[in-house]
Amino acid sequence: MLTSPISIKEPPINTTPLDKRSRQFRIQMVKMLEAAKRGHMASAFSLVEILRVLYDDILRYDPKEPHWTSRDRCILSKGHGALALYVLLAEKGFFPEAELWNYCKENGILGGHPEYGKVPGVEASTGSLGHGLSIGIGFALNARYLKSAHRTFVIVGDGECDEGAIWEAALAASKHKLYNLTVIVDYNKQQSYATTYEVLDLEPFADKWQAFGFSVRQVDGHNIEELHGALAKVPFETSKPSVLICHTIKGKGVSFMENNLEWHHKNYPTASEIEALLAELERD
Amino acid sequence: MRKTCLDIICEIARKDDRVVFMGSDLGVATLNRFKEEMPDRFFMEGISEANVIGMAAGLALEGRIVYVNTIASFLTRRCFEQVALDLCLHNVNVRLIGNGGGLVYAPLGPTHEAIEDIAIFRALPGMTIIAPADAAEMRRVMPLTVNHSGPVYIRLGKGGDPIVSNDLSPFVIGKGLIMHEGDDALVVTTGVMLKTAMDAAHMLAAENINIAVLHMPTIKPLDQACVLEYAARNPVVVTLEEHTIIGGLGSAVMEIIAEANYPEPKRCKRLGIPDVFPDKYGSQASLLAYYELTAGNLIKTIKQLRSV
């Protein structure tokens, strides 16, 4: 059994401390929430370290040439995590940081879900769940056809894995032995209504991916070293697609947001809520 | 028509290495030649339409031109969201080849009949919809799909359909073709129903009633100028399609006519399949007769409207 030793029926606990940089990204996201008055906050907070490690050290890309043919492709299939993606893409120079303050504004490029063709660095429009992995398989097949070394990474949510299309795609990735494809699951164990165990249980989750033909690894999705250690080693096996199950906390970094379903998507946060968020994140 | 279509895909793939073929779970030996000659551009991906469309989108975003083939009802109903978002929103060069448009699969029942496929896809921004009348027209249109920009749906007939199209005018995607001239009534049709319309035109001509037959192999974008030109000179407009009367060619034509605000109102009728799931089996021909999509009913309809 590959299943995590973490007790799966209780709210997950993760005590990994966040360093200043991780907190800084979250502060930016809170300020974007304040400006736009809406956002999938907790869903984005669980993703920050995954994206940080990918864009810091794993992905090959050139922000000045976002269509560079040899770049690694990264699709945020759980498009509602867009806030986290936007702060990373801005930091890396895909677009000016000032654009962040136009989040969800009429003439901005950054919507509630990332759009291909609008946001430099975004490889596919996502938002409706269960689409990104199939598109990523198309990318990976083409890379193999071209004998190009570029790789494809697809980040999916755990709730997203309720979708049958994810498992259709998993069959296809395995059939084609897509060693150049890595799925990263943000396994925060909460979806919109309740925990994943209550809504539609995914367990034994790692075993499922293994049974579908993936090479599976699991890490603490907030631990930079663990994430880096695993992602630097893809493909985990040479003839299989890889999946990295990242055990995360929805709302990670703010005590009252962690595992709190009210923050899955937040509309009209009050001034005192924003203040409390910033106070926690700015504390050294 | 289907064989011609698949043969041409093979021909164009030989000349253009951007071309990829993808099926779901097609009949044994389908496009074997393609598979043997170009195995790395041939995909048979299983009964997983949502995934197939997503994969096709991914390949197309990388510059491939992907021809996807499966049964029309599954291409339109099962993976609608993938078609809307992965194909249309990204405006990628994927060509959907739908087997059994209309009532072709009559013996297999309503799960397999594609009688609202045009309505479904007509609502999608950026989608091009083509329904050739016969294999000869298929041969003219398919090469044009290679460099067409954006997603295309190609509706296939049964096969062995009589040849009624001609090459007097070049095929242009988005252009209507006038197949018979007349100013007593206008019939607008598409796909294999062109044959029925032409039969009616010939029979009516023998009675000195001359109808214009406008063939619309491209249903979206519809040739609005052509509809307006021919509707302007005809008091009666009848549409004829092997499709529900909701949302298909008839709806598209009547939308144009309603907004044209002619000084004299046109007398109009949409002939198609009523708003039902077919409740009989039999054959395509027997169901077309059951729903009165026949030359006889077209003639009767035109005469009734002319006498109003």
ipTM: 0.95
Tokens of A34: 């304040």
Domain boundaries, chain B: 2-155, 177-307
Contact B58 A138 (CB under 8 A): yes
Phi, psi of A108 (to 5 degrees): -80, 170
DSSP track, A61-111: --TTSTT-TTSPEEEESSGGGHHHHHHHHHHHTSS-GGGGGGTT-TT-S--
Strand B218-220 vs strand A215-220: parallel, antiparallel, or unpaired? unpaired
Instruction: Tell me what pLDDT residue A2 has.
Output: 57
Instruction: Tell me what pLDDT residue A8 has.
Output: 57
Nearest neighbour of B50 by CB, restricted to A117, A140, A168: A168
Measure the CA–CA gap between B94 and B67, rounded to whole angstroms.
Answer: 6
Three-state SS at A284: coil
> Cβ contacts (< 8 Å) between A139 and chain B: which residues?
58-59, 61-62
Contact A124 B55 (CB under 8 A): no
In this structure, the dihedral spanned by the alpha carbons of residues A137, A44, A101 and A262, taken in order and rounded to 10 degrees, is 130
* Minimal C-alpha gap between A149 and chain B (Å): 14
**Please, where are the H alpha helices in chain B?**
2-15, 32-37, 49-61, 72-73, 80-81, 117-122, 135-145, 193-205, 224-232, 249-260, 284-290, 295-307
Contact A138 B56 (CB under 8 A): yes
Fold assignment, B177-307: Rossmann fold (3.40.50)
Q: Is A70 on the interface with B (CB under 8 A)?
A: no
Contact B54 A133 (CB under 8 A): yes
Q: Is A135 on the interface with B (CB under 8 A)?
A: yes
For chains A and B, count residue pairs whose Cβ atoms are closer than 8 Å: 89
Residue of A nearest to B57 (CA): A135
CA angle B153, B84, B260 (to 5 degrees): 70
The average confidence (pLDDT) of chain B is 97
Tokens of B179: 């197949």
pTM here? 0.96
Nearest neighbour of A172 by CB, restricted to B45, B57, B86: B45
CA angle B148, B113, B49 (to 5 degrees): 55
Contact A137 B63 (CB under 8 A): no
> Cβ contacts (< 8 Å) between A140 and chain B: which residues?
58
Which letter does DSSP use for residue A263 in this model? Answer: G
Q: Which of the residues in chain B have pLDDT under 50?
A: none
Look at phi and psi of residue A130 and say left if phi exceeds 0, alpha if psi is from -120 to 50, else beta.
Answer: left
Q: Is A109 on the interface with B (CB under 8 A)?
A: no
> Radius of gyration over alpha carbons of chain A, in Å?
18
| Segment holding B177, helix H or strand E | strand B177-180
Measure the CA–CA gap between A124 and A155, rounded to whole angstroms.
Answer: 12
* Domains in chain A with CATH codes: 20-282 (3.40.50.970)
Residue of A nearest to B44 (CA): A172
Nearest neighbour of A116 by CB, restricted to B43, B45, B90: B90
Residue A241: is the preceding peptide bond cis (ω within 30°)? no
Strand intervals (E) in A100-241: 152-157, 181-187, 215-220
Q: At B194, which amino acid appears?
A: L
Q: Is A173 on the interface with B (CB under 8 A)?
A: no
Architecture of domain B2-155: 3-Layer(aba) Sandwich (3.40)
Phi, psi of A219 (to 5 degrees): -140, 165
Domains B2-155 and B177-307 share a fold: yes
Residue B221: is the preceding peptide bond cis (ω within 30°)? yes
* Minimal C-alpha gap between B57 and chain A (Å): 6
Instruction: Tell me what pLDDT residue A4 has.
Output: 54
Measure the CA–CA gap between B145 and B151, rounded to whole angstroms.
Answer: 9
> Cβ contacts (< 8 Å) between B39 and chain A: which residues?
none
Instruction: Tell me what pLDDT residue A186 has.
Output: 98
Phi, psi of B123 (to 5 degrees): -80, -5
Contact A135 B64 (CB under 8 A): no
Q: What is the pLDDT along chain A (284 residues), one digit of tens a residue?
A: 455 545 456 778 889 999 999 999 999 999 999 999 999 999 999 999 999 999 999 999 999 999 999 999 999 999 999 999 999 999 999 999 999 999 999 999 999 999 999 999 999 999 999 999 999 999 999 999 999 999 999 999 999 999 999 999 999 999 999 999 999 999 999 999 999 999 999 999 999 999 999 999 999 999 999 999 999 999 999 999 999 999 999 999 999 999 999 988 888 999 999 999 999 999 86
